[in-house]
Amino acid sequence: MEVKVDLKSMKHENFKDNEYIEQLVKELREGGTNVVVGVLDDVINWGRSNSLWPLTFATSCCGIEFMSVGAASNDMARFGFEVTRASPRQADFIMVAGTIVHKMAPVLKRLYDQMASPKYVIAVGGCAISGGPFKNSYHVVKGVNEIIPVDVYIPGCPPRPEAMLYGMMQLQRKVKLERFFGGVNKKEKRPEQDK
């Protein structure tokens, strides 16, 4: 991804003019040193996207299919979703697997707030997307995007494990394209009381 540098003392074109680095790399290579040149954001995003750890969070049917995703025949660890974490402090993203009802809504919001930034949300299944078959109920939240921002939607009732893996890999794509420094690492605002 093209990163737009924002410096007072230097124009963007000058910043992109890296002739002296190219010269340096050339000299080093000629001297027999192996050098790789890249953007630090890409390296960090490569690492981040391949070790996204989900929070153990499930309310109903989709949660059982999510367990299947973690078990032998589908094994999400193949793609870097190594292990589900029981604590929101250690999780990178939350799979909202199942219906969210009125009584659960503040709990979900609180869990999301407790997660460390950068954090992501995947809405799994019809219920988390829009309320699904229970849309008309008096006690069902019509989509989790009413409470927390959603990054990826996975439709289905419940989605098959393959669909869940596809959705989680879409999140990886999204993470790979993000700007880390000055971007998502600073996204979260400080809460009022800390000031």
Nearer to other proteins, 41 or 65 (CB): 65
Where does this chain bind other proteins (CB under 8 A)?
56-61, 63-65, 67-68, 71-73, 86, 98-99, 101-107, 110-111, 133-134, 136-141, 146-147, 157-158, 160
Please state the closest distance from residue 82 (CB atom) to other proteins, in A: 13
Measured CA to CA, the distance from residue 106 to residue 147 in angstroms comes to 8
Nearer to other proteins, 127 or 168 (CB): 127
Instruction: Return all residues near 129 (Cβ < 8 A) that are at least 6 apart.
Output: 123, 143, 144, 153, 155
Please state the closest distance from residue 157 (CB atom) to other proteins, in A: 7
Please state the closest distance from residue 105 (CB atom) to other proteins, in A: 5
Please state the closest distance from residue 55 (CB atom) to other proteins, in A: 9
Measured CA to CA, the distance from residue 149 to residue 182 in angstroms comes to 21
Q: Give the chain's end-to-end CA distance (angstroms, integer).
A: 34
Paired with 124 in beta bridges are: 97, 154
The DSSP output letter for 159 is P
Nearer to other proteins, 17 or 146 (CB): 146
- SS percent in the chain: helix, strand, coil, step 5: 45, 10, 45
Nearer to other proteins, 11 or 110 (CB): 110
